[in-house]
Amino acid sequence: MGHAGKQQLLECVKKGELKGVEVKEGAGQQRKCPDCTSGKLPRTSFPISSDHASTPLELVHMDQNGAAERLNRTLTDLARAILAHAELDNTWLGCYGV
């Protein structure tokens, strides 16, 4: 899913894993894939809250597991990129509401 970047492709060519692919010296600059770029755009931020704590522990924000959150974000970004490439809107992600 998704596609490999320039460095990964060059490594595959050097290892002989891609047959029939030639790499020219200094071949162009790396371009950004528009679908990958749009897939990584975050949603709008939360509105500024008027709730402020006046005493310690009055307002507590519970953080989630960072590793799991990163994986979820990576998978969501990938899904958005695939939908953008297929020219579908985010409603195809269903209940995830991305």
Q: Residue 28 falls within a domain, yes or no?
A: no
C-alpha to C-alpha distance for 1 and 29, rounded to whole angstroms: 23
Q: Residue 53 falls within a domain, yes or no?
A: no
pTM: 0.40
Domain that holds residue 82: 67-98
Q: Residue 79 falls within a domain, yes or no?
A: yes
Task: Check whether 47 has a pLDDT greater than 50.
Answer: yes
Q: Residue 95 falls within a domain, yes or no?
A: yes
The tally of domains found in the chain comes to 1
Q: What string of DSSP letters covers 20-49?
A: T----TT--PPPPPHHHHHHTPPPPPPPPP
Q: Residue 60 falls within a domain, yes or no?
A: no
Q: Residue 54 falls within a domain, yes or no?
A: no
Q: Residue 38 falls within a domain, yes or no?
A: no
Q: Residue 77 falls within a domain, yes or no?
A: yes
Average pLDDT estimate for 20-42: 71
- Give 96 or 67, the one with higher predicted confidence: 67
